[in-house]
Amino acid sequence: MVSIGNWMVQSFQWLNHNINKMKKLSLEMLRLTSAYVLERSQMKKITGGYGGPCYITCSHPSGSRQYSVPNCSVGCPLNESPQYCSCS
């Protein structure tokens, strides 16, 4: 027969073990969720998914020019190279 003291120790060890497993699982879920949110946020900026205008800066022989575009995949006019694009 198991004494009350041994039963309490075993119960405490079991609880402690499972709490540690749950902490690890929660941290892993949080890390995955953060990575997923960051990935989605970056994709929305690239595709112009926030609904605001995007501005692309293009290099031109006479200097840099900025254009308002519906999304960053539009690119620059001919003979100009994209330098930077951001969407609000």
Q: Where are the domains of the chain?
A: 4-87
Which tokens sit at 79?
């003979």
This prediction's pTM = 0.41
Which tokens sit at 6?
């041994």
pLDDT tens, N- to C-terminus, the chain (88 residues): 567 778 777 877 888 777 777 777 676 666 656 656 666 666 555 554 556 678 889 998 888 999 888 888 888 888 888 888 888 7
Torsion, Cα 61 66 70 72, to 10 degrees, reads 60
Gap between the Cα atoms of 65 and 87, Å rounded = 16
The tokens 């946020």 sit on which residue? 41
Whether the CB-CB separation of 84 and 54 falls below 8 Å is answered with no
Q: Is residue 31 helix, strand or coil?
A: helix
